[in-house]
Amino acid sequence: MFKLNIFNIHTFIRIFFFIIFLNYLYFSIRLSLRENAWIAGDWLMNYEGGILRRGLSGEIILLISNILSANVIYLLVFIQSSLFFTFLFFFLKILNKKKINLLFLFLLLSPATIAFTFYDPLAIGRKEVIFFVFFTIYITFLLNKLEWSLIRNLFFFFIGFSFVLIHEIFLFYSTFFVFTKIFYLYKNNIKININNLFNELLLIIGSLIAVMVLVFLSSNEPNLENLVCDRLIQSGLTPEICTGALTEITFSKYLNSYKSFGLSEYIISYGYIKTYTIAILLFFIPLILFLLLQKLKKKEIYIFIIFLILQLFFLFSIFIVVNDWGRYLNIFFIFVLIFISSFFLKEKTKVIKKLNFKNFIFFIILILYTTTWHMPHCCQKNLGNGLDSFKDRILFRINSPTKYNDLSREMILKLLRFNQHK
């Protein structure tokens, strides 16, 4: 039997996470310095003209910027990167306690999960990173059986309320917390009742109340967009920041935008249903194989699969008003990944140090699976081409200047010019 003694799965995962983080950091800087109107603009919506959707994040960032006299864009980059680092840190803490098999790597390295932002840089710096951080911390607390005081209980209400004010899409993923708790109680033979689900129900209630606030108390200021935009310009940003997310500043403008935009064009002409159905299958096939390999109780698998199907149908209800289907599927896939890492991976008994020939072949297939395709966040007719598409993307970003002094870009350009002269 052919064996490699240098292979360590946990070390491999740490290296993978490090690469993913560096990629995230670089493009967070590049996209923010370009004042991307759909990413930075989404974060910087604020309450200058009254209550509006997604305005809480911008209000907090602008307040911190004023207190610290910090550049808004630099502060945003720091927040985005810190949140993503925190997510990877807590997720790695979960994985470090687990026995990792090669089939699980198909899910971890999938272009639909952690590698999603690697292949599609325009998915970097999005608000969903906040949800990932909270879910990993929540599960960490749950698995360590930490007790919650009444004040900490109310924290769940605050999280649900504030997260929806940051991005209303959180409501559609809050069900993961309820299911996770129910599954935890079931797995540990603990009675499933309202008392044991108190925190998670507070999370849902807080989310629903926030939705009511947005529906009934949102600003009717006719110059709302201009007021919000002017505040950002006064903070040192260019008018370009107002050309993306800020044009859909209210729910009515958001829905009217998609009506005029013609979402059907994406569904029909771009073949969204075919593209994202294939992406779902490319995630679910290794997931099913993984579940079978783990030799779990059939009832646990059935419960889990039924929840996933119901959750997918729940998400499909929003696909009629959004065009970035890849982003919202990615949130779903990462939540699933965190869940199975926590509950379906066995506790680590030993570090895997050897890779036999059979697993070596398996590993080659894994590399092909993770590098030859990727799931676009939106607006493409087919699945992406993996590393080939990434090469084109990164060259485009490098050659796209900003008004800021971007040392990383200049260093890369110098390196490229040096290699061309050789």
CA 378, CA 361: separation in Å to the nearest integer? 33
pLDDT number for residue 242: 92
Using 50, 70 and 90 to split pLDDT, how confident is the model at 355? low
Question: What does the pLDDT look like over 7-21, one tens digit per residue?
Answer: 578 888 999 999 999
Question: What does the pLDDT look like over 170-188, one tens digit per residue?
Answer: 999 999 999 999 999 999 9
Residue with tokens 């610290």: 68
Where is pLDDT greater, at 103 or 22? 22
Distances from the Cα of 186 to the Cαs of 63, 143, 300, 309, in angstroms? 44, 13, 9, 20
Distances from the Cα of 150 to the Cαs of 153, 154, 374, in angstroms? 5, 6, 44
pLDDT number for residue 256: 61
Residue 118 has pLDDT above 70, yes or no: yes
pLDDT number for residue 418: 46
Question: What does the pLDDT look like over 25-80, one tens digit per residue?
Answer: 988 998 888 889 999 999 999 999 899 999 999 999 999 999 999 999 999 999 99
Using 50, 70 and 90 to split pLDDT, how confident is the model at 414? low
Average pLDDT over residues 107-136: 95
Average pLDDT over residues 262-277: 78
Residue 422 has pLDDT above 50, yes or no: no
pLDDT number for residue 6: 45
Q: What DSSP letter does each residue of 280-348 carry, written as one string?
A: HHHHHHHHHHHHHHTT--HHHHHHHHHHHHHHHHHHHTTTTS-S-HHHHHHHHHHHHHHHHHHHTSPBP
- What residues does 347 pair with on adjacent strands? 98
Using 50, 70 and 90 to split pLDDT, how confident is the model at 3? very low
Using 50, 70 and 90 to split pLDDT, how confident is the model at 400? low
pLDDT number for residue 32: 87
Using 50, 70 and 90 to split pLDDT, how confident is the model at 380? confident
Write the secondary structure of 149-210 as one string of H (helix), E (strand) and C (coil): CHHHHHHHHHHHHHHHHHCHHHHHCCHHHHHHHHHHHHHCCCCCCCHHHHHHHHHHHHHHHH
Question: What does the pLDDT look like over 283-327, one tens digit per residue?
Answer: 999 999 999 988 888 999 999 999 999 999 999 888 887 888 999
Per DSSP, the three-state class of 43 is helix
Residue 5 has pLDDT above 50, yes or no: no
**What are the residues whose beta carbons fall under 8 Å from the beta carbon of 382, sequence distance 6 or more?**
271, 275
Residue 265 has pLDDT above 50, yes or no: yes
Using 50, 70 and 90 to split pLDDT, how confident is the model at 227? very high
Residue 419 has pLDDT above 60, yes or no: no
Residues in the chain: 422
Residue 23 has pLDDT above 80, yes or no: yes
Q: What is the mean pLDDT of the chain?
A: 86
